[in-house]
Amino acid sequence: MTDDVKINRGLKGIYFERSGVSHIDGRAGELLYRGYTIHDLAEHSTFEEVCYLLIHGELPGAAELDAFDAALRAARHLPAAVHEIIRATADGHPMDVLRTAVSALAALEPDSRETGAEAFLRNGIRLAAQVPMIIAAHEAIRNGRDPVAPDPALGHAANWLWMLTGEKPSAEAARLADVDFILHAEHGANASSFAARVTVGTEANLHGAIVTALATLAGPAHGGAAEDVMKMVREIGTPENAAAYVKAKRAAKEPVTGFGHRVYRAEDPRARHMRDGVRKLGEEKGAPEWYEILQAVVTAMQPYARHGLNVNVDFYSGVVYQLHGIPMDLYVPIFAIGRMPGWIVQCLEQQQSNILIRPLTLYNGPQRRAYVPLGDRD
């Protein structure tokens, strides 16, 4: 009898595998990477160090970090054919261009079809370096400029800002971008990571899995919150309008963007590390009003915190990007830059004890019926 079958739509609350990568306690508002709190990592670590931790399971020593960082910098290269593909698709959405370019790399890179753990690691490091290059190159090309060559003297986050803008970022701006990447690096079996694992479950290569992850991240229900927050801030206009905006949204039973999360009932632990950064960057850029609007929204939303409507990480990210003059359609691609190590390690984990991920759907269509030839149908 199918009446006894419980359907868990969206697989909510379902454990499909064990993982040693990240731990999320939604009620306590806690996030750990490999046992280390997101607070310690955001305050004391670098994105390169966090990448190493996620992929290898332990914090690196100085020599290990130097070697890993050198490998990332050495991989900052795109085949000429990829630049041609970017030019041919220049009018497309940046996520479509990014996905297409990564798919092209699968056909252009010599060992992309290899599926062993070592090949996944090599291809993962290369893709982590190439993804920000693709995004920056597309932004330049669609605006009639030549892509900016990477600077081997700059770290991952600083080099990304350099390639995007052609200007060397301040130490504070580079550090904030670094922290943003750390906060987005890994988050368990989210939609894009799960999709990547499903792909690896078929014994596909890493490039295929990353293409799957990018396609999934592009959906507005997963990666689009930062862009929506910036649209909200623009609509509010001034801090004085925030309370009325929130009141109207709540009266209409509409969500206030940047509040609430699928797994967190308490405040998203990543949010506080962007809060101070937005304030400082706003002062540096001479635009403190964006931070003031955000905080006015936070104040207006305080009565609803008991319902689990707390600030999430995307609430502040959009304003960081706005202060850098980054177009809104690049917000999700920036998310992808940060999430690369998480996707890579999720794929590595899936491969270690691989199994085809094949859940069931409960049929609720017509019962067996007789076939009627075409000529006998009315």
Residues labelled as active-site residues:
261, 314
User: Angle formed by the axes of helices 47-56 and 171-184, to 10°?
Assistant: 20
* Residue 137, burial from CB neighbour count under 10 angstroms (0-12, 13-18, 19+): buried
How far apart are the C-alpha atoms of 256 and 249, rounded to whole Å? 7
- Spatial neighbors of 58 by CB under 8 A, at least 6 apart, are 34
How far apart are the C-alpha atoms of 229 and 225, rounded to whole Å? 6
DSSP state of 311: B
- Spatial neighbors of 89 by CB under 8 A, at least 6 apart, are 96, 97, 100
Read off the tokens for 324: 């850098």
* Residue 375, burial from CB neighbour count under 10 angstroms (0-12, 13-18, 19+): exposed
How far apart are the C-alpha atoms of 285 and 287, rounded to whole Å? 6
How far apart are the C-alpha atoms of 148 and 165, rounded to whole Å? 8
N- to C-terminal Cα distance for the chain?
34
